[in-house]
Structure 1
Amino acid sequence: MPGESATPVLIEGRFDGREAFADLIRTALSAAAHQGWSEIVFSDPDFADWPLGERASIEALQAWSASGRRLLLLARRFDLVERGHARFVTWRRTWDHIIECRAAGRTGAAEEVPSALWTPTWCLHRIDAERSRGVCSSEARARRDLRESFDECWRQGRPAFPASTLGL
């Protein structure tokens, strides 16, 4: 981010509560550009309580987005993103070429879509989405296990959340 020189510190261990969860997402987005992550995965049943519509989140994503970057989004449904995160929807349109979105899960199977943020060096897994409790880790095994869970849902998913709904 402009004017910032210190790399944000990504915590390890447990977190508890919606504000702690949102703060961790904000910190991770800020760290993305500083650490030059080539790929980020956002996964959640609906992203309702992610801080994606906040100006700071979009500024961090803008600083991160560059050639060779990739953002994957997995959800059961994206309607809450479209209604509740206007800044993110606008940013998504601009950066469509680096973003892939898929809808996964069957009706009534929200637990199949993990609530998580994955990066090549760190991950956040919200194990109890209702109470926003989970764990953050940079351990290779935790990242691998979370990525495998995500990949399984991704394979069973279908393209969703297009950047534009305009036809020819």
Structure 2
Amino acid sequence: MQIEHTAAEPSLPPLPPLPPLPEGRFDGREAFGGIVRAALSAAARQGWRELVFCDPDFADWPLGERASIEALQAWSATGRRFILLAQRFDVVERNHARLVPWRRMWDHIVECRAVRAEAGNAVPSAIWTPGWFAHRTDPERSRGVCGFDPRARRELREAIDESWRAGRPAFPASALGL
């Protein structure tokens, strides 16, 4: 017995292709904001296991934007790890209000450390993933480089790890007190 189909079954349209992650030099706050957004979108779509964000204070990162939180929410899953490294987190709490409740909800995958602003303990301004990176070598002007180069990615991770070891736990999910 053969069954005939009289109407074509509707199919879901394919997702639009993910724009490639930027590679090369970037210049300016808008360009850097776009890089952060692209990284969050790629992390969510590709299921990256680890994200590392570091900056002295994250003041000019688009972390409080609805789209950034939606991308973080889509990325969040078992086995993920999100590292935030800064010299201070008070700016994050003030300027990125949407990130604070997201951080509280996903405390089990988020690790935060603060590094004292002492000579030799400069926190790089960067995004690091196992396959791609963005490094603001001039945070004041939002200039830097991003890409896939394994050597540059390894050197950046070594600098981040050095700052991480000098840091202490910070930006807790909740404030406990009596």
Instruction: Report if TM-score (shorter chain) is over 0.5.
Output: yes
Give the Cα–Cα distance (whole angstroms) in 2 for the partners of residues 8 and 111 of structure 1: 35
Query: What letter corresponds to residue 51 of structure 1 in structure 2?
Result: P
Q: How does 1:149-160 map to 2 (within 5 A)?
A: 149-160=159-170
CA contact (8 A) 1:44 1:114 kept: yes
Give the Cα–Cα distance (whole angstroms) in 1 for the partners of residues 45 and 142 of structure 2: 26
Q: Which residue of 2 aligns with 1:17?
A: 28
Identical positions, percent: 70
Give the Cα–Cα distance (whole angstroms) in 1 for the partners of residues 64 and 54 of structure 2: 16
Question: Which of 79, 104, 128 is the aligned partner of 1:118?
Answer: 128
CA contact (8 A) 1:74 1:104 kept: yes
The answer on 1:36 being equivalent to 2:43 is no
How far residue 142 of structure 1 moved from its aligned partner, in angstroms, is: 1.0
Question: Which of 135, 140, 154 is the aligned partner of 1:144?
Answer: 154
CA contact (8 A) 1:74 1:102 kept: yes
Give the Cα–Cα distance (whole angstroms) in 2 for the partners of residues 47 and 19 of structure 1: 14
The answer on 1:127 being equivalent to 2:137 is yes
Structure 1 vs Structure 2 CA RMSD: 1.5
Cα deviations by residue, 1:73-128 (Å, 9 ceiling, x for unpaired): 00000000000000011100000000000001334x49710000000110000000
In the comparison of the two structures, how many residue pairs are matched?
A: 165
SS at match of 1:112: coil
Cα deviations by residue, 1:8-47 (Å, 9 ceiling, x for unpaired): 3201100000000001000100000112110000000000
CA separation of 1:95 and 1:13: change in aligned 2, threshold 3 A: same
Which structure has the greater CA radius of gyration? 2
Cα deviations by residue, 1:53-74 (Å, 9 ceiling, x for unpaired): 0000000000101000000000
Question: Which of 151, 161, 164 is the aligned partner of 2:171?
Answer: 161
TM-score normalised by length of structure 1: 0.94
Select between 5-14 and 42-51 the one with higher mean Cα deviation: 5-14
CA contact (8 A) 2:132 2:153 kept: yes
- Structure number having the greater helix percentage: 1
Q: Structure 1: 5+ residue runs without aligned partners?
A: none
CA contact (8 A) 1:43 1:74 kept: yes
CA separation of 1:87 and 1:110: change in aligned 2, threshold 3 A: farther
Q: Which residue of 2 aligns with 1:100?
A: 111
TM-score normalised by length of structure 2: 0.89
Q: Which residue of 2 aligns with 1:67?
A: 78
Give the Cα–Cα distance (whole angstroms) in 2 for the partners of residues 7 and 18 of structure 1: 22
Which runs of structure 1 show a deviation greater than 4 angstroms over 4 or more consecutive aligned residues? none
